[in-house]
Structure 1
Amino acid sequence: MPRTYHLDAPADAIGRALGADAQGDVWQGGTVVPTGYAPVVIGGKEGARLVPRQWGVPPPPRGEHVVTHVRNIGSPFWIGTLRHTEFRCLVPATHFAGSGKTWLAVPSMPIFAFAGIWRDSEVPSFAILTTEGRMPVGSESSSATMPVILHPRDYRAWLHQDWKQAQRLVAPFPAQLLRNLGG
């Protein structure tokens, strides 16, 4: 699971790549770290649009730290959010950190999207879904999990389909489609 990721593209390019209205977002690109702000794509009646959110949703009861990754999609804490399409989002990225000093990218998609959820509490925030890890050969990763990377054909489904259909998208991305950028 990424401890950090890069989104090295301006908001208008992100909007074009993910089929969203950039709505004047000022993102110019850079590194995203937990509790940092980054754009995400949310759906809605007026169409997909780019909005700024903080990476890390408030913790569950008795939790102490913001939650940057959703691992257990069957958890009662997450299932309500996942069942409501208005709380699912696309988290755009250009590459992400694996374990160690490994950076990974998707060569066929210069800008790709992680499956995410968002919440509007005191601070509008988001988290990235993870699944079992399948890292490419030659990566230094020993991670048991990796972010859920969506294929472009699945962006609309993640944002709009009923949870019974959308949950099939929570699956490992084919390792052969990832490229190890090194450290």
Structure 2
Amino acid sequence: MTDQGNWRQLAGMCNLYSNTRTQDAMRRLFPGLEDRAGNLGEGTYYPNQMAPIIRHSAEGLELVLARWGMPSPAFVLKTKRDPGVTNVRNLASRHWQSWLSPAHRCLVPVTSFAEPVKGGNQWFGAADPDRPMFFAGIETRAWRSVRRVKDGETEDDLFAFLTSHPNAEVGAVHPKAMPVILTKPGEWDLWMNAPIEAARQLQRPLPDGALLPIDPAAENGRLI
């Protein structure tokens, strides 16, 4: 498949997720976390929207808001507008090389996520509702681009998250990919701090049975 074909495939992957974990809960998970995200409530997030991420700061880790969608490679853009790339699969691509160091890695809080199916979306959540989940993400700051024509050029902090081949639950509805989800403190530390040669081992699906499909009648990926 051509590079162009690989990038076009991204549109069919996860482009909707929710987070209900509170800021207090995230501060308990990451002692010393600097909270710069303002007053967050429960949220459902689409591409190009602002969402919370945990990233490195000069003092340690900080919780901030960033726009979902990393810069696109120039060859896929037909106009000056760049809607951003929400999912990252091929870490060997030259496009991602400058953002793979620990300084550009982040954790994206997630409670449930959706994969597109005919007529709507299928949501997935943790089989253990008390288990915290984070997407393995990358981020960049102060990036200038045209995200929406009506806004013109803006300067944004941006993020996206990794995908891998799916586990059994996700593969039943989306056989090509699922988000890379980290659920253990050791995984969070490895992703945020290890050289990419070690951290990239985390680019794999959750074990079968770790996720459950959520009833499509559920609101925003949460059971009613």
TM > 0.5 fold call: yes
2:181 counterpart residue number: 149
Task: Tell me, yes or no, if structure 1 residue 27 matches structure 2 residue 40.
Answer: yes
- The sequence identity of aligned pairs, in percent, is 31
Following the alignment from structure 1 to structure 2, what is the Cα–Cα distance between the partners of residues 47 and 85? Answer: 12
- The 1:158–1:123 alpha-carbon spacing in structure 2 relative to 1, beyond 3 Å, is same
Q: Which residue of 1 is the match for residue 157 of structure 2? A: 124
| CA-based RMSD | 2.0
- Specify the code of the residue in structure 1 equivalent to 2:122: T
**C-alpha distance in structure 2 between counterparts of 1:18 and 1:97, whole Å:** 26
Q: Which position in structure 2 is the counterpart of 1:107?
A: 127
Give the whole-Å Cα distance in 1 for the aligned partners of 2:131 and 2:68: 21
AA aligned opposite 1:147: P
Secondary structure of 1:158's partner?
Answer: helix
Q: Which moved more, 1:101-110 or 1:125-134?
A: 101-110
TM-score, normalised to structure 2, is: 0.74
Q: Aligned partner of 1:130: which letter?
A: T
Tell me, yes or no, if structure 1 residue 46 matches structure 2 residue 59.
Answer: yes
- Aligned to 1:92, the other structure's residue is in SS state strand
2:104 is the counterpart of 1:72: no
Q: Which residue of 2 aligns with 1:93?
A: 110
Query: CA 1:3/1:18 → structure 2, altered by over 3 Å: closer, same or farther?
Result: farther
Residues 37 and 64 of structure 2 are in contact (CA less than 8 Å); yes or no, is this contact kept in structure 1?
Answer: no
Residue type matched to 2:93 in 1? Answer: S
How far residue 45 of structure 1 moved from its aligned partner, in angstroms, is 4.6
CA distance in 2, matches of 1:107, 1:72: 28
**Cα contact 2:115–2:123 (8 A) shared by 1:** yes
Partners of 1:73 and 1:36 lie apart in 2 by 24
2: CA distance between counterparts of 1:10 and 1:16? 10
Alignment of 1:180 with 2:209, yes or no, is no
CA shift for structure 1 position 18: 5.0
Cα offset for 1:140?
A: 5.5
Match of 2:19 among 7, 24, 29: 7
**2:134 touches 2:181 (CA, 8 Å); kept in 1?**
yes
Q: 1:44 to 1:161 in 2, by over 3 A?
A: farther
Paired residue type of 1:142: H
Output the amino acid matched with 2:206. Answer: F
Three-state SS of the structure 1 residue aligned to 2:27 is helix
Higher CA-based Rg: 2
- Please, what TM-score do these two structures have when normalized by structure 1? 0.89
C-alpha contact (below 8 Å) 1:99/1:140 kept by paired residues: no
Q: Is the 8 A contact 2:37 2:65 kept in 1?
A: no
Moved more, 104-113 or 122-131: 104-113
4+ aligned runs moved over 4 Å, structure 1: none
